């Protein structure tokens, strides 16, 4: 009783958010009924003035029922994919990624905002992976019509269509689509390959034009995250803009940074990691504006609950969502504990901080990577220490080169040389590290080994937390934004 009565408000919030996430998972196997949310709200009001234990039980029940209620709503929406599984359908949708040539010369891309027009007229929620023929290229924002058999899938896509007949019904003509295409064309015209594609990767996460060889090398060295649509890209941009505008009023700085976050979302799309980064950055800005602090666990659970409630397939089957939050937990929870353990009250230097944060993020993500992909990079920490500190400069130089190519093509070669020199060094370094013997090894673990691994990690963290006594709060804006790398 004393333990429960002594719980802080943030702890109760954490319990409730964790219950929502568990409820979303349970929604895959149980249906609480249409009145579950009403029952949950009633439980909170009934239990709020009762004993502390009953109060906690009410919070847990409300969170579970809320998660199950939202999960079942989304499950009913995507039931159409099961109803028309392996049936020939025609859908109209909007491309949410640029196409690439995949297996057997098929154009491969993702579509969203879809509607089935044959054999029935019905809206389709979620994202569909499309492969097929009929067009030479499809760009993000284009309206397309696809005709093929529909196959439900797992992961970030709710269905897939292969060998589809692809017809572009409308070219994406929004201002954002035009700017994105003009910038990409300008950057790739002024920088030789693979530098142009690498620059697009670190700026906006566009990986469709990266060669398979370079993609494999980045994977072997644990650097895929720098060319992914990830929180790291957004983190750097937001932090730089915030620093440049800190002499202005808080309102102007906050408004400018929030506008930048919205623009970045429009340019890159709404992947799990970038949505998480946008939420965390926005919450950090809010806390900084009002002079507040966040407990790392609350921040992580809040961002996870918001993204998973908005799009339940994230928690059901999106590995990227799990990797994003595990790395985030490593940087915000494990890294401070490890820093205090190794250095006491002494502030680490930049190189030491990069090493500790990289190591912490990899420790948290390593078990699930080995379980899903069966791959372990033995040079990941070294490669991150040598390459990651250079990414902000590479982003700046790439942006200048792309803008120069758009506005002054005659001078583009002069403004692009810093990007050329820096990214040539980065790619050469990646290639050298990837060629080292045993740079990456294949090692797959079982589900029980996965559970045991995270149980050991959590146990060690609890012991360290009790001994080291790291503060449970983090000051924002700088620590949260500067440390969110995945």
Comparing CA positions, the residue from 190, 257, 268 lying closest to residue 233 is: 268
Q: Are 237 and 205 in a shared domain?
A: yes
pLDDT higher at 399 or 320:
399
Indicate whether 133 pLDDT > 50.
yes
pLDDT of 482 reads 40
**Strands in 338-403 per DSSP E:** 375-377
CA distance 351 to 360: 14
Average pLDDT over residues 190-195: 85
In the chain, helix, strand, coil percent, each to 5? 65, 15, 25
Cis ω for the linkage preceding 194 (within 30 of 0): yes
Structure tokens at 251: 């309102």
Q: Are 139 and 197 in a shared domain?
A: no
pLDDT of 92 reads 94
Structure tokens at 297: 């666990």
Q: Which of 125, 147, 172 is the last residue of a domain?
A: 172
Indicate whether 160 pLDDT > 80.
yes
Which range (50-54, 314-318, 369-373) has the least confidence?
Answer: 50-54
Taking all residues of the chain, what is their mean pLDDT, rounded to a whole number? 78
Q: Which of 74, 92, 119 is the last residue of a domain?
A: 74
pLDDT higher at 77 or 231:
77
Which range (35-44, 53-62, 279-288) has the least confidence?
Answer: 35-44
Q: Are 207 and 348 in a shared domain?
A: yes
DSSP H or E stretch at residue 116: strand 107-118
CA distance 95 to 99: 9
Q: Are 278 and 481 in contact (CB under 8 A)?
A: no
CA distance 198 to 227: 7
pLDDT of 192 reads 85
pLDDT digits (tens, 9 = 90+) for 1-14: 444 445 677 778 88
Q: Are 122 and 229 in a shared domain?
A: no
Q: Which residues pair with 116 in a beta bridge?
A: 91, 122
CA distance 403 to 178: 14
DSSP secondary structure of 416-450 = HHHHHHHHHHHHHHHHHHHTSTTSEEE----HHHH
Question: How many degrees, rounded to 5, is the angle at CA 274 between CA 146 and CA 393?
Answer: 115
Q: Are 145 and 162 in a shared domain?
A: yes
pLDDT of 302 reads 87
**Local structure of 347: helix, strand or coil:** coil
**Local structure of 93: helix, strand or coil:** strand
pLDDT digits (tens, 9 = 90+) for 251-299: 777 777 787 777 777 666 655 566 777 777 777 777 777 776 667 888 8
Domain that holds residue 329: 179-483
pLDDT digits (tens, 9 = 90+) for 99-126: 877 767 788 888 988 999 988 998 998 8
Q: Are 207 and 349 in a shared domain?
A: yes
pLDDT digits (tens, 9 = 90+) for 292-327: 666 788 888 888 898 889 888 888 887 778 877 887
Q: Are 412 and 367 in a shared domain?
A: yes
Q: Are 114 and 184 in a shared domain?
A: no
Q: Which of 32, 49, 74 is the last residue of a domain?
A: 74
Rounded alpha-carbon distances, angstroms, from residue 460 to 87, 341, 465, 466: 51, 12, 9, 10
Indicate whether 243 pLDDT > 70.
no
Counted domains in the chain: 3
Q: Are 186 and 142 in a shared domain?
A: no
CA distance 316 to 145: 28
pLDDT of 205 reads 66
Indicate whether 448 pLDDT > 80.
yes
pLDDT of 438 reads 79
pLDDT of 232 reads 57
Q: Are 155 and 238 in a shared domain?
A: no
Q: Are 187 and 166 in a shared domain?
A: no
Q: Are 132 and 162 in contact (CB under 8 A)?
A: yes
CA distance 150 to 130: 10
Assign 146 a pLDDT band (cuts: 50, 70, 90). Answer: very high
Q: Are 388 and 464 in a shared domain?
A: yes
pLDDT of 441 reads 80
**Local structure of 376: helix, strand or coil:** strand
pLDDT digits (tens, 9 = 90+) for 72-91: 888 888 888 888 999 999 99
Which range (34-38, 65-69, 70-74, 403-407) has the least confidence?
Answer: 34-38
First vs last Cα of the chain: how many Å apart? 40
Q: What is the pTM of this model?
A: 0.76
Q: CA neighbours within 13 Å on the CB side: how many for 103? A: 4
Indicate whether 480 pLDDT > 70.
no
Assign 26 a pLDDT band (cuts: 50, 70, 90). Answer: confident
Q: 309, exposed or middle or buried, with CB in 10 Å at 0-12, 13-18, 19+?
A: buried
| CATH number of domain containing 154 | 2.40.50.140
CA distance 136 to 99: 9
Average pLDDT over residues 346-354: 70
- Dmax over Cα atoms in the chain, in whole Å? 75
């Amino acid at each position: 009783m004393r333990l429960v009565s002594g719980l802080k408000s943030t702890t109760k919030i954490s319990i409730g958010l964790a219950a929502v996430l568990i409820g979303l998972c349970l929604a895959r196997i149980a249906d609480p009924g249409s009145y579950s949310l009403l029952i949950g709200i009633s439980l909170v009001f009934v239990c709020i003035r009762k004993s502390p234990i009953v109060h906690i039980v009410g919070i847990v029940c409300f969170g579970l029922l809320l998660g199950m209620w939202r999960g079942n709503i989304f499950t009913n929406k995507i039931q159409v994919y099961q109803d028309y599984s392996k049936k020939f359908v025609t859908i109209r949708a909007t491309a949410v990624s640029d196409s690439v040539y995949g297996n057997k010369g098929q154009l491969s891309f993702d579509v969203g905002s879809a509607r089935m027009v044959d054999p029935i007229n019905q809206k389709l929620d979620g994202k569909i992976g499309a492969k097929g023929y009929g067009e030479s290229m499809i760009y993000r924002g284009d309206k397309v019509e696809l005709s093929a058999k529909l196959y439900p899938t797992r992961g970030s896509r709710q269905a897939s269509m292969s060998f589809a007949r692809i017809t572009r019904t409308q070219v994406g003509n929004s201002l954002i689509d035009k700017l994105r295409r003009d910038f990409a064309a300008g950057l790739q015209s002024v920088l030789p390959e693979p530098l142009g594609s690498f620059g697009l990767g670190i700026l906006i996460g566009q990986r469709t034009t990266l060669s398979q060889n370079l993609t494999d090398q980045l994977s072997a060295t644990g650097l895929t995250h720098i060319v992914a649509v990830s929180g790291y890209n957004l983190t750097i941009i937001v932090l730089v803009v915030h620093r440049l505008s800190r002499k202005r009023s808080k309102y102007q700085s906050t408004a400018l940074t929030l506008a930048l976050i919205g623009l970045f979302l429009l340019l890159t799309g709404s992947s799990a990691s970038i949505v998480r980064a946008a939420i965390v950055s926005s919450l950090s800005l809010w806390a900084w504006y009002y002079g507040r602090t966040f407990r790392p666990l609350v921040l992580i659970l809040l961002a996870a609950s918001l993204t998973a409630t908005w799009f339940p397939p994230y928690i059901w089957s999106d590995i990227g969502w799990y990797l994003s939050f595990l790395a985030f937990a490593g940087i915000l929870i494990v890294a401070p504990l490890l820093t205090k353990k190794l250095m006491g009250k002494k502030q680490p230097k930049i190189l030491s901080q990069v090493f500790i944060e990289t190591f912490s993020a990899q420790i948290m993500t390593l078990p699930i990577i080995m379980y899903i992909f069966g791959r372990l990079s033995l040079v990941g920490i070294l490669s991150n220490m040598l390459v990651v500190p250079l990414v902000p400069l590479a982003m700046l130089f790439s942006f200048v080169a792309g803008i120069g190519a758009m506005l002054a093509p005659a001078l583009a070669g002069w403004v692009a040389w810093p990007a050329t020199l820096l990214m040539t060094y980065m790619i050469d370094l990646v290639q050298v590290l990837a060629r080292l013997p045993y740079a990456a090894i294949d090692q797959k673990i079982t589900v029980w080994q996965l559970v045991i691994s995270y149980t050991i990690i959590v146990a060690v963290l609890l012991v360290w937390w009790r001994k080291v006594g790291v503060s449970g709060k983090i000051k924002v804006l700088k620590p949260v934004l500067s440390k969110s790398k995945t």
